């Protein structure tokens, strides 16, 4: 399985209608990701396997809770982590594809 993180595009929190009556699609589903199993978790983030329709491959999605994460992490460390990961280029490392920011 080729694991990739998420092109640095920040997208507003939007949800659409799901083909299943009464169910709204998630933000990730609206961006072409189908979530799978959890492969890691911490105090305020969870990493899941997902399928990217756009990239036609399995990816790793890191979901960070804005409610559980400390403010300094969200303002200082998370942006720094994203910039570092975006710059990584090596066959044995993940490739950053996209960042999606929501209101929650």
Mean pLDDT value across residues 3-27: 56
> What residues form the annotated binding site for ATP?
62
The domain of 91 spans 1-104
* pLDDT at site 7: 40
Q: Which residue has the higher pLDDT, 54 or 17?
A: 54
* Residues whose CB is less than 8 angstroms from the CB of residue 33 and which lie 6 or more positions away in sequence, other chains included: 50, 51, 52, 53, 59, 61
List the CATH number of the domain containing 81. 3.30.200.20
Sheet of 57-64: strands edge to edge? 33-41, 45-52, 57-64
pTM: 0.73
> What residues form the annotated binding site?
62
DSSP 78: H
Domain count, the chain: 1
């Amino acid at each position: 399985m080729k694991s990739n993180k998420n092109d640095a595009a920040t997208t507003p929190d939007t949800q659409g209608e799901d083909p299943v009556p009464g169910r709204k699609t998630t933000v990730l589903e609206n961006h072409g990701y189908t979530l799978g199993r959890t492969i890691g978790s911490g105090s305020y983030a969870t990493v899941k396997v997902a399928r990217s329709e756009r990239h036609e491959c399995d990816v790793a999605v890191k979901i960070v809770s804005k409610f559980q994460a400390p403010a300094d992490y969200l303002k200082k460390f998370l942006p720094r982590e994203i910039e570092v990961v975006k710059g990584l280029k090596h066959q044995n490392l993940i490739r950053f594809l996209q960042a999606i920011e929501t209101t929650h």
